[in-house]
Amino acid sequence: MENFSAAAASKLFEQEIREVFLGTFGGLGAAGLSASLLTSVLPTTLEDLLALGLCSAGGLIAISKFSARRQQVVDKVKRTADALARELEEAMEKDLLETTESLENFVKLIGKPYQDSAQSRLGKLLRTQDELTNVEEKLKALQIEIQNFHILR
């Protein structure tokens, strides 16, 4: 993206368009000028007509190339636009990835104390549960002992 210059692209596009028009109308003008010069120099009408026909054919060729030249410029602009779009998309993806990683690291950093606190509370709860289980087993054992004591009396 750093390499792209809108001003340079605009100048290049303008130059391409200018070359297409100059090539077309320059060829047409050269054909007309040649026809004019040849008709003034050639001695017979037949030669004048032949020169006019050849110069007209040259002008026709110059005009017929206009469409192909225009299409070349359009294709060149499309390729440039596609390349720019790809670069832009890659830059956006890179920026998104960097932002996502940064946000993920931020969340980990901010959430670390809460995660540690939750882990600590979970550990305390598990120890309390183990103690309650042990107390329950002792109570059952005492209950059985009391029942056995009543039976013996």
Q: For residue 104, is it within any domain?
A: yes
Q: For residue 153, is it within any domain?
A: no
Give per-residue pLDDT as tens, 68-126. Answer: 888 888 888 888 888 888 988 999 999 999 999 999 999 999 999 999 999 999 999 99
What's the structural domain count of the chain? 1
Q: Higher-confidence residue: 58 or 91? A: 91
Q: For residue 130, is it within any domain?
A: no
Lowest-pLDDT range of 11-15, 74-78, 87-91, 128-132: 11-15
5 confidence band (pLDDT: 50, 70, 90)? low
Burial 15-32 (b: 16+ CB within 10 A, else e): ebeeebeeebeebbeebe
Q: For residue 118, is it within any domain?
A: no
Query: Which residues span the domain enclosing 28?
Result: 6-112
With a cut of 70, say whether residue 3 has pLDDT above it: no
The whole-number average pLDDT for the span 36-51 is 85
Q: For residue 44, is it within any domain?
A: yes
- Residue 4 phi/psi, 5-degree rounding, is -85, 130
